[in-house]
Structure 1
Amino acid sequence: MTATLPPVEAAASDAAAATGPAVVDGVAVARLYGEPLFALPQDLYIPPDALEVFLEAFEGPLDLLLYLIRRQNFNILDIPLADVTRQYLAYVEQIRKTNLELASEYLLMAAMLIEIKSRMLLPPKKSDDGSEPEDPRAELVRRLIEYEQMKLAAAGLDRLPVHGRDFLRAQVHVEQALAPRFPEVEVDELRAAWAELMKRARLNQHHTITREQLSVREHMSLVLKRLQGRRFLEFEDLFDVRRGPAVLVVTFVAVLELARERLLEVTQAEAFAPIYVRLAYQSA
């Protein structure tokens, strides 16, 4: 229980309660808003509501009842209703003097406690099947246990870290690169370009039969030489359709091998645009 007074009345009442005027700072008997007061005022008036009494804050009748039981280490399964009801009514009497509307909720629980106590004083009624009659406190005990479980769960959730109260998310600003990022070439577009090359190669077939040793590594070197000193080159310009499909296949494999080894890049400005090839280590 805590009592509070306004600054003026608190200083004056403390001085008046003493047997004699207590001297503060060697001269003044009190201080008012930091200023020394050398004599008590004769017309001091304390309004009736200046003294406010703050009781323990409870969230409802069940919370108060659980507090009374746990404070005195009573067994919740065997509640001594006489003692608990007496303390409960004392608290209700305090809040009834200040807040009758709030006290109505607690009076309902008080009536239930008195009703349970009266049922315990009466002889128990025998059940039809001959079993033991139910304890009148059973329903109240069940509600108290459920309320305590929910209260403990809420307290556990409140102890968890909360964003904005216990921690803040780290925010990092990443500046976007100014260089344009071209869309990647899809496999279907690369296959379509290759099919178009093969179609043009069939139109330039020769009947001369020769045996030519083709090397993928050699054509990889040729492709790198073609791209040397160039910013980029169209995909089709890397192939010589006049040399036949065999050379086209080896050249295409060489391009794929160079792309796999990240020695060149295959790009295009947008979807369905011409495909370009450039050296990977060359600036855009």
Structure 2
Amino acid sequence: MLSIVNPKQIYSYQQMEEDIKKLKYAYPKLVRSKVIGKSVDDRKLYGIAIGFGETEIFINGAHHAREWLTTALLMNMLEAYCKAYINESKIGSYFVKDILNKIRIWFVPMVNPDGVSLVQQGEKSAKNPVELVNLNNGRKDFSAWKANIRGVDLNRQYPADWNSIQDNTGKPAPMMYKGPHPLSEPEAEAIYNFTLDHEFKIAVAYHSSGEEIYWKYNCKGELLVISNRIAQRFSSITGYKLLESGASPGGGGFTDWFISDLKKPAFTPEISPLVGPRPVPLNMYDKIWNDNKEVGLLLAEEALDLH
């Protein structure tokens, strides 16, 4: 079967929608999707599940607008796991069918579709183009933009030490503004509610760049021991460095909240070497895929061991 997902392109919201439909058609028993909420500009937020087990894990991408290559990575991962399931083949050392018969992996590949569209297509993709150009200091190059379409950083929106977040702009901006209160933005609220509707054993929020993994935010006791074990395995297959301090940017992040409130392991991997304030170049994708293709399976295996 020919591949549906082509991750080596400027992977847009429209392309993702098209690929979700095609994947559901190609793998009708294996793939299901649901709309878990809507963005400020009324784009749908998609949750996509593969697998048949009652144990569930959650992987999301593109909280930050310029980090859209994480969406392509997760869509690629989703399709690769479907193919391996049908073909009864392995990815790395993992026999995919065996794992997906015991577990369900949920993906939300693009948490911030308005922001991604802004970065890729410019201000005309948005309902408030004039305001966005003003927020961007009069510039029409949005390649460095991280926030949602209202200028709120979605990864500073979760109720984990939100009041103590440092270096907050205090007003809407291309990055760093934490919003007027936690979960003020519909995208973050949708992810929050979706997470609470499930019993995810492990969660991952993919970001870029830096080839590192945040994992330790407010971890204590048994959770610290479990998280450290999984983090070491995560690091060994990706080659990414483990960061001791998960407290940067001082709370508000999805995994900060998942760890500190739900008391379960969560990880924030940063794909690709550091590239500065811009999207990760597509010529880095092959290495990114090679580093990360087994991640969902590793975490699924670990989730089965958690009580």
**TM-score (normalizing by structure 1):** 0.22
Structure scoring higher RCO (CA < 8 A, sep ≥ 6) equals 2
Which structure would you say has the larger Rg? 1
Structure with the largest fraction of helix = 1
